[in-house]
Amino acid sequence: MESYYILIVAVLFLLAISDLIVGVSNDAVNFLNSAIGSKAAPFKIILAIAAVGVLVGAVFSNGMMEVARKGIFNPEYFAFNEIMVIFLAVMLTDILLLDFFNTIGLPTSTTVSIVFEILGSAVAVSIYKITRSDAIVNTMGTYINIESSVMIIVGIFLSVIIAFSVGMIVQWIVRLAFSFNVKKTYKYFTGIWGGFAITAILYFLLIKGAKGSTLVSADMLTFIQANTTKMLLISFAGWTLLFQVLVFFTRINILKITVLVGTFALAMAFAGNDLVNFIGVPLAGYESFKAFMASGSSEAGGFLMSALREPVNTPIYFLIAAGMIMVLTLRFSKKAKSVTATTIDLSRQGAGSERFASSSLARFIVRRSVEMSNGMGRITPRAVSTFVQSRFDAEKHQDAKQEKLAFDLIRASVNLVVASILIAIGTSLKLPLSTTYVTFMVAMGTSLADGAWGRESAVYRITGVLTVIGGWFFTAFSAFLASFLIASLIFFGKLPVILILLGLAIYILLRTHAFHKKRAEKKERLDSQIITASYEVLKSCDDEVRSSIIHVSKILYLTYTNFSKEKHKELKGLKKESKQLGKQIKKIIENIPDTLRKFEETELESGHHYVQVVAYMKEMSNSLIHIVQPAFNHLDNNHPLDKEQMDTLKDFNEKSSEFFNLVINILKNRNFDHLEDLVQRRDEMINMANDILRTRIKILKKTQKGVKVSVTYMEMLSETKSLFLNVVHLVKADALLVDTIALGKKNIEEEVSD
């Protein structure tokens, strides 16, 4: 019996280490996105500052998380064996759930996930106890702290709405003061704003960091609370004066200091507060085991866990070890960068490739917002409108030579200051705020106020925000349900089920890690293709043409082959491949404006050839998708094929393959003298497709059988004809591109020789 529970405690601590790694990957977005998005410092320095904040916060952590021991359920009504089932189910669920969100790159709340996991597993065990008990007083309210659970849910709604609104209002006011011409306004407002920002962050550290810390004495905490107002006033006056002096007499960038200090503060608060989300449950399990062993009881089912009601201080070595794991994760985790990228993409100032597609709700919100804005514009005096617009005109003050940032230091500092204040106020009022919700929604509010969500990007950004918010509520629901099911399985299955679930968790973690690694490597390959010179742009485009045509040729050949052999699974994979190719080309199209800026005024013709090539690539990709889709739908619906015409289609497929081989040879060898041969071969293929279609129409007239397959053949062959046309257009456009490349290379060589 004792060895069984020793094993569970050991498993809890192993899961705690995994949870720390997964949790930091998720919550890194809370304190990294502002500094990274504004490039306040090199990435390594930002990480170093955040790492120090995390380590300090871990050491100053407020120890055992109350919600893990008594916040959601009443431990005095649960036996030791039941408590251990609850804790084990929570940890297994938490790791899998957070890892899933990290893998897809969406930030979620570790606080909310842990709360609903505890609630789900506790409800599962409570239902078992209620059904097995004869006592009338045994109701769900006896075991579960319903009031605390409701407060958490209310806190979610409040934090989302308040954080977004306050972030938007404060950013609007600060931007109105600074405008986007920061060089001009810097010396007038930076001292005051910097003093206010550092004071707000100090208040955040005093309230959020010191409260309940194991290393802050009761007398020190009382002194801080009694003199908070005085300390804040002295801080504001002192920092404002110091910063204003530095602005006038040095070149030190006060805004960068503000952002980096804010990054440290949020990282420290994250570790001090959210660390317990990862190790609170295992430590509660460890304390439960110690209490059970100290009692001398031999019956785990009869020993009630009233001991969890007592306050417990976490040993300092646990906190230091946890802090070191978090620091190492912050340094090496690529998933942390994925989650951070989501927030930065949704709040960046510039346009470009959007992470999310538009949705009907987002389009409705944008439409109503535009109407409201137009209405406000009609009643606002023209002088006021002109003044405000001039302060928010980002393009007017954009330096083409300056490095392009997701957003500037003004917005980054507002993100940190507002998030710090809101979290500090929420903590002082004992409201169950989520640091993830607050920091994310503040960032969204400031980006809206800053004009980052323009007419070109608003629907995509709003869809992204709605997706993330939907993910938060999905977290609560799935955390409750998954923890409920896992607790039920462990409760009845004991050790065999624990081992199976542990093995399953390890397998899923390895699979998601491999998936994320593969996706990250693919993104790195794409990022490595960022080009800085027009000649390199054209060269890369030519390479992309060849690669795309080879890909299209392969998919087309396999589509007809697998269609004739009725291989449903293979066609499903080809459908996915064709859509993925379309997405890659779509990304190139979205980046055309940025790409064209790399061309000189004298290279307009080159830019025109580039746009033509990309347009034909898109048409080619669309034709391919409309060939694969009908073939897949036909097999997916289990419709029959016409075996009599299979030989004809097989021959057509072979001839198509020969056509593409000719195309690929022309592109590889740069032998565009054979373009006439290619056009002739294209016309032959189109005539062959027309002959098959005529035969199909004759068959359809003679009999009513094979209507479905006839429609499928017609769709596929018609789109294949379009594909041949677009491929030839693409090759011709690429020929002009190659000529431009050759001319550009010659000019470069002449410049070098001179």
**Whether pLDDT at 640 is above 50:** yes
Q: How confident is the model at residue 64 (pLDDT cuts 50, 70, 90)?
A: very low
Q: 36: exposed, middle or buried (C-beta count within 10 Å: 0-12, 13-18, 19+)?
A: buried
pTM (2 decimals)? 0.66
Residue 446 Cα distances to 126, 165, 407, 467, angstroms: 44, 9, 10, 18
**pLDDT at residue 70 is higher than 60:** no
Could you give the 3-state DSSP secondary structure of residue 102?
helix
Which tokens hold the place of 569? 């699974």
Instruction: State how far Cα 526 lies from the chain centre.
Output: 18
| pLDDT tops 80 at residue 413 | yes
First to last CA, the chain: 86
**Residue 179: predicted pLDDT:** 83
Helices (H), 401-434: 409-428
Q: Which of 55-69, 164-178, 313-327, 525-539 has the lowest mean pLDDT?
A: 525-539
Q: Tell me which of 679 and 459 has the higher pLDDT.
A: 679
Looking at residue 400, its pLDDT comes to 47
Q: How far apart are CA 747 and CA 717, in angstroms?
A: 45
**pLDDT (average), residues 108-117:** 77
Could you write out the three-class secondary structure of 566-632? Answer: CCHHHHHHHHHHHHHHHHHHHHHHHCHHHHHCCCCHHHHHHHHHHHHHHHHHHHHHHHHHHHHHHHH
Q: What is the pLDDT of residue 558?
A: 92
Please report which confidence band the pLDDT of residue 532 belongs to, taking 50, 70 and 90 as the band edges. very low
Summarised one tens digit per residue, pLDDT across range 179-189 is: 888 788 888 88
Provide the pLDDT for residue 401. Answer: 46
- How far, in Å, CA of 476 to CA of 153, rounded? 9
Nearest one of 203, 190, 198, 197 to 254, comparing CA atoms: 190
Q: Is the dihedral of CA 487, 490, 493, 497 positive or negative?
A: positive
**How many CB atoms are closer than 10 A to CB 297?**
15
Q: Cα Rg for the chain, rounded, in angstroms?
A: 31
Would you give the distance in Å from CA 32 to the centre of its chain?
14
Of 726 and 461, the structure prediction assigns the larger pLDDT to 726
* Residue 454 to residues 349, 394, 451, Cα–Cα distance (Å): 9, 11, 6
pLDDT digits (tens, 9 = 90+) for 558-590: 999 998 888 888 999 999 999 888 888 888 787
How high is the pLDDT of residue 745? Answer: 52
Per DSSP, the three-state class of 484 is: helix
* Residue showing tokens 């094979």: 706
Instruction: With both helix axes pointing from N to C terminus, report the angle between 228-249 and 218-226 in degrees, rounded to the nearest 10.
Output: 70
663-695 as b/e: b if 16+ CB within 10 A: beebbeeeebebeeebeebbeebbebbeebbee
User: How far apart, in whole angstroms, are the C-alpha atoms of residue 524 and residue 317?
Assistant: 38
Distances from the Cα of 83 to the Cα of 75, 130, 278, 289, angstroms: 8, 16, 17, 10
From 201, 190, 182, 193, select the one nearest 252 (Cα to Cα): 190
237 has a pLDDT exceeding 90: yes
Q: Tokens 């093995």 label which residue?
A: 503
Highest mean pLDDT, choosing among 352-361, 455-464, 513-522, 616-625: 616-625
Q: Is the pLDDT of residue 349 over 60?
A: no
Sign of the alpha-carbon torsion through 65, 69, 74, 76 = negative
Q: Which residue has 């810390």 as its token pair? A: 213
SS3 300: coil
Indicate the average pLDDT of the chain: 77
pLDDT of residue 25: 65
246 contacts 254 by C-beta, under 8 angstroms: yes
How far is 205 from 424, CA to CA, in rounded Å? 8
The DSSP output letter for 178 is: H
The span from the CA of 183 to the CA of 723, in Å, is: 53
The pLDDT value recorded for residue 211 is 59
What pLDDT shows up at residue 530? 41
Mean pLDDT throughout 307-333? Answer: 73
109 alpha carbon, distance to own chain's centre: 13
Tell me: pLDDT of 754 over 60.
no
Residue 540, both tokens = 């890369």
If you write DSSP's letter for every residue of 642-706 in order, what string do you get? -GGGHHHHHHHHHHHHHHHHHHHHHHHHT-GGGHHHHHHHHHHHHHHHHHHHHHHHHHHHH-STT
pLDDT at position 335 is 55
Which pLDDT does position 339 carry in this prediction? 52
Estimate the share of the chain in helix, then strand, then coil, as percent rounded to the nearest 5: 80, 0, 15
390 compared with 242, residue with greater pLDDT = 242
- State residue 625's pLDDT score: 92
Of the chain, the percentage scoring pLDDT greater than 70 comes to 75
Q: How far is CA 450 from the centre of its chain?
A: 22
CB 423 within 8 A of CB 208: yes
The yes-or-no verdict on residue 713 having pLDDT over 80 is yes
- Structural domains of the chain sorted by starting position, each given as residue range(s) with its CATH number in brackets: 2-396+413-523 (no CATH), 532-753 (1.20.58.220)
Mean pLDDT of 539-543: 73
Report the distance separating Cα 554 and Cα 617, nearest Å.
16
Half-sphere exposure of 744 (CA within 13 A, CB side): 21
- Write out the two tokens for 369: 């917002």
